[in-house]
Structure 1
Amino acid sequence: MQGVNQESCNGKCTALVLFNTRALGGYKSVNDMIKPNSDMPWGNHFTFLPVSLPKLTNLTKRDHSSINPLAFVQKAHRMIDRKRNSASVWLTSKFLDTLRKLRGPEATARFIHGSLKNTSMGLTNLIGPVEEMALANHPVKGLYFMVTGVPQSCSVTMVSYVDKLRIAMVVEKGFIDPNKLKSCIDYAFDSIFKAAVKSSPVAT
């Protein structure tokens, strides 16, 4: 964005991080989930967290520690953990559930769509199969998923499959250069990997 328009570095970007709330109550069997008044009823149960993305100007002028790739990752991890353990996660989940019961799924969908519209990008992930799958006797070498039709400039989805992580991204056409974004992502992953290898203790 900054390469296309210098003024874009002054803009505010917010990411909406979606995650499953079943982990908060534990995983149950299907028979337990379909029982009336179940502690963890059947169906999708998720919530989202708005996270402010750091500005490039902030990284270069005020927070020099964030220039270190590992320090940046650790700082982001601490921020997400702090937000996940806050009361807003529980309140958002309860609000969505109450809205669905009182106003119906269409009103809930409109609220979620409005929340997505007020953010710049969305991130979500799934824990995939740990063993190889096959469809019609054809082995599945890899898989990914994508949320379509969202009113955001960028969507990032992650899914694991047999100890491999696959990341998929969709960007707004004419607003974000996909080739330049891919180059930036590759550079970021390479920088993080090199910093992690460099900081790892040498085995003796």
Structure 2
Amino acid sequence: MSIWKVMVLMWHTLVDVLLFVATFTFLKDTETPLKGKEGVGFHRKRFINRDLSMDDVKVVKNAFGCTVNDVLVGITSAALSRYLNRRYGEMDGAKNLPPNIRLRTTMLVNVRKNSGIHALAELMNGHGGARWGNRIGFTILRLPIAMFEDPVDYIRKGVEVSERKKNSLEAIFTYASGVLIVKLFGIKIAETLCHRIVSNTTVCFSSIPGPVEEIGFNDHPLVYIAPSVYGHPHAVTLHFQSYMNKIKLVVAVDELTVPDPKGLADDFVESLKLIKDATVKHSS
């Protein structure tokens, strides 16, 4: 790695750390119809799932030379923009989104090195140097919220913000600082810090690659994998879980904040379709 790249990496990390501290202290997201109110973590949640075609995602991925996760960030930006545009129109008849919406997601990142299936097999047999457990840090990612005329602009913006975050050690910093805070001050202080940061953002986002071939449990084939979580102070939680040739989208919402969770989930399906069709059109 060149000296210039190291300097850029350190600069991006410094900026992200400062924004991380600012989010803990005072920097909050814009109050939108997706932002949960105080106590949202204790509200009842509705869980909705939708299937996204991995083939369609790969069409976009290959056209832009990016990753599946980059495409999912772009789809999320498009879907949330569609939903908010519709909600603002219902509330005050506005035809456009308000400008400069700050809508950020806490994106969970496992900073543990992937040891592979063979190392896992050795670990289960009591051998090898691999260790159990994940090492979860997170990055705070600002999603572009706008109504673009060309759907592929969401992918361009998604790739841009994702590449910027990849060139940062923010996830490693958040993991290491969390471990240090637990050791020095205890789990309660760490929980307060985490709760404050999550409360000041809008959405939780997770993308997990799964097996590419069918697997089973006790001789029963696994049809799909649909993970989610409950109890954190977000009104909207998004999980993308790939398995075989599909991506399962699981949307967990607080219905007091998002009264039409099925409509929100459908926005993701429609956004992928529009982006894929536009990508094919641009490529032809």
**TM tier relative to shorter chain:** 0.7 to 0.9
Q: Deviations over 1:101-136 (max 9, x none)?
A: 223344333322222111111101212123312233
Q: Does 1:107 align with 2:193?
A: no
Q: Does 1:184 align with 2:267?
A: yes
CA contact (8 A) 1:121 1:153 kept: yes
What TM-score do the two structures reach when normalised by structure 1?
Answer: 0.77
1:195 maps to what in 2? 278
CA contact (8 A) 2:182 2:189 kept: yes
Which residue type is aligned with residue 271 of structure 2?
Answer: A
Q: Does 1:33 align with 2:130?
A: yes
Which residue type is aligned with residue 130 of structure 2?
Answer: M
2:171 maps to what in 1? 89
Unaligned runs of 5+ in 2: 1-86
What is the alpha-carbon distance in structure 2 between the residues aligned to residue 4 and residue 102 of structure 1?
Answer: 49
What is the alpha-carbon distance in structure 1 between the residues aligned to residue 134 and residue 188 of structure 2?
Answer: 15
CA contact (8 A) 2:206 2:239 kept: yes
What is the alpha-carbon distance in structure 2 between the residues aligned to residue 44 and residue 191 of structure 1?
Answer: 36
SS at structure 1 position matched to 2:178: helix
CA contact (8 A) 1:16 1:48 kept: yes
Tell me the percent identity.
Answer: 24
2:80 maps to what in 1? none
CA contact (8 A) 2:107 2:138 kept: yes
What is the alpha-carbon distance in structure 2 between the residues aligned to residue 82 and residue 185 of structure 1?
Answer: 24
Which residue type is aligned with residue 143 of structure 2?
Answer: L
CA RMSD of aligned residues (A): 2.5
SS at structure 1 position matched to 2:280: helix
Q: Bigger relative contact order, structure 1 or 2, given CA contacts below 8 A and separation 6+?
A: 2
Which residue type is aligned with residue 197 of structure 1?
Answer: V
1:49 maps to what in 2? 139
- The counterpart of 2:244, out of the listed 156, 162, 168, is 162
What is the alpha-carbon distance in structure 2 between the residues aligned to residue 67 and residue 101 of structure 1?
Answer: 50
How big is the shift at 1:170? 1.2
Q: Deviations over 1:72-124 (max 9, x none)?
A: 21221221121122143332222112123223344333322222111111101
Q: Deviations over 1:20-59 (max 9, x none)?
A: 1124xx537343134xxxxxxx422122121223333xx4
Count of residues in correspondence between the two structures: 184
What is the alpha-carbon distance in structure 1 between the residues aligned to residue 246 and residue 282 of structure 2?
Answer: 23
- The counterpart of 1:127, out of the listed 178, 186, 209, is 209
Unaligned runs of 5+ in 1: 35-41, 60-65
SS at structure 2 position matched to 1:67: coil
What is the alpha-carbon distance in structure 2 between the residues aligned to residue 70 and residue 18 of structure 1?
Answer: 25
Which residue type is aligned with residue 5 of structure 1?
Answer: M
